[in-house]
Structure 1
Amino acid sequence: MIENDVSADAAVGSAAGASVVDAYAAVLRPVRSGNTFEETVQKVLQLVRLGLVPVGERLPPERELAERLQISRVTLREALKVLQDAGVLEVRRGRYGGAFVRQPVAASAAEGDGEQLRRRAEELGDQLEDTLLFREVLEVGAAELCAARRPTGAEAELLRELLTATGAASLDEYRRIDTRLHLAVAELSGSPSVAAHYATVRATVNELLDCIPLLPPNLDHSQRQHEQLVEAILAGDQDGARAAMREHLAGTAALLRGFLA
């Protein structure tokens, strides 16, 4: 838990000035989608990326962040924890505690073997948005087509097995198994062209995903979305499959935009 002293909060707010408060309002809008955790991470990263909270300075108090974003403090603490683990924030406790910006987002993303991949993300530039849009068009359409076919027998069993595998995957294996589940949906759409194009775009997406940390709360949320997706597909619920896939992809896109955009 992050502890903030009321008098310290007031001092920081006074020092920040009205212009910073206005800038906060432009970023810290209420979270409205079903991807509460992912959007919270994205918005906090935007504060850092835009320089609204410089290195060494403290984020707005936990209470204020939760109220602005209209989220629970539990969700906020999860988001701050993973950003601390990623090296973006330092959480200090006590009278003058809070979440402080430790280093720029780009620096934290570049640690270790991620440097080359981070450069690849920078090279993509505006292609990030194009890649995310193309992925959404392909995967949402594939989910609907797959549900229309309503897989049975061995095809249905494959989806169930892959769903179980993603839930049990270690962090080292998660990306590969997650890719296989999504590729299976594309393959079962009935269109070889959709599957082929998805394989290409997923390779690019994985390059980008490898530039950001794996966040356990996001993986737990993703698994619940996977379950909703597979359930809709096996029930032949085309609208449900489209909605589940679109919401699932929106969560991933929020994290990628937060870390890399």
Structure 2
Amino acid sequence: MGERGRAEAFRAVERSKVYSSVAEEILAGVRAGVFPPGDPLPAERVLAERFEVGRGSVREAIRVLEHAGILDVRVGSGTYVVGGGDSRTTVLRARAAMAGEHSPLDLVVARASLEPSCAEHAAAARTSKDLRAIEEALLRQERITREGGDPSGADADFHLAVAAASHNSVLSALERSLVDLMREPMWSEMKHRSRSRGERAERYLEQHRQVFRAIGLGDRRRARQVMAAHMCDIETDLLTDLESARDGEDPAAP
């Protein structure tokens, strides 16, 4: 298929959507197999003509998809599709970038790196006041879960209280940054859907109870272990939701 012929596989996009719609069209072509791994994209000029947008919009779309790991821009050679670039994990990262957000899976990986350390240091440094703050968030989460409500706010407060109990201002600041990112629509929607499946809300609550008990006992090793297991469980559930999504379904809506 010639360069222009390949570009015909895409639709012209609405000008109001600009680069994000260009990225969506390119992404759709990759997922449909129009551009197999290792194949080059049509030239920037050809894509701009086909989409009826400026070359700057095409360039920005390619930049976003390169950042997501879907495309590989080779100076002096062209832009190529990366092997595995159509995986649900990578597609989710691209969709998040198009929305100006962060991939929920990237976020949970960052949390898995930080939060076990917060729990470990909290077990060593917590005061009675810290324990009351953690317990209050936990009790609020229990009540909301029992009533069938959305415990996201109480869940976040629990993790913030654990970080504060570490008495490490850097860990606390990093945790606050992660909680801010957890307010992004894509994370909120995916976490809400994940929590609503089966007994996940109760399972997450029980894991929080275990973290609280370990911190209360001053057991640093146990606190780190149970928090790490909790983060691993969340990541596994999100990946399961992505893998069970129907073909063609938005990976941000498991």
TM-score under structure 2 normalisation?
Answer: 0.50
Asked if 1 retains the 8 angstrom alpha-carbon contact of 2:97 and 2:103, the reply is no
Match among 129, 154, 165 for residue 188 of structure 1: 165
**Structure 2 counterparts to residues 1-261 of structure 1, below 5 A:** 120=96, 123=99, 127-149=103-125, 151-169=126-144, 170-207=147-184, 208-212=186-190, 213=193, 214-215=195-196, 217-260=199-242
Which residues of structure 2 form unaligned runs of 5+? 1-30, 32-87, 89-93, 243-250
Query: Which range is displaced more, 207-216 or 232-241?
Result: 207-216
Larger Rg: 2
Q: Residue 130 of structure 1: SS of its match in structure 2?
A: helix
- Matched pairs, number: 146
Runs of 4 or more off by more than 6 Å in structure 1?
none
Q: Which has the higher contact order (CA 8 A, sep 6+)?
A: 1
Cα 1:185–1:193 change in 2 (3 A) is same
Contact map agreement 1:144 1:241 (CA 8 A) in 2: yes
Unpaired runs of 5+ residues, structure 1, are 1-49, 51-105, 107-117
Counting helix residues as a fraction of each chain, which structure ranks higher? 1
Shift of the alpha carbon at 1:211? 1.9
Q: Distance in 2 between matches of 1:146 and 1:245?
A: 12
Take 1:192 and 1:171, find their aligned partners in 2: how far apart are those partners? Answer: 34
Q: CA deviation at 1:202?
A: 2.3
Change (3 A) 1:210 1:127: closer
* Cα distance change on mapping 1:122 and 1:232 into 2, 3 Å: farther
For each residue in 1:10-50, what CA deviation from the matched residue of structure 2 results, as whole angstroms up to 9, or x when unmatched?
Answer: xxxxxxxxxxxxxxxxxxxxxxxxxxxxxxxxxxxxxxxx9
SS of equivalent residue, structure 2 residue 167: coil
Q: How far is 1:218 from its partner?
A: 0.4
Output the aligned Cα RMSD. Answer: 3.0
Letter in 2 for 1:154: K
The CA deviation at 1:223 is 1.1
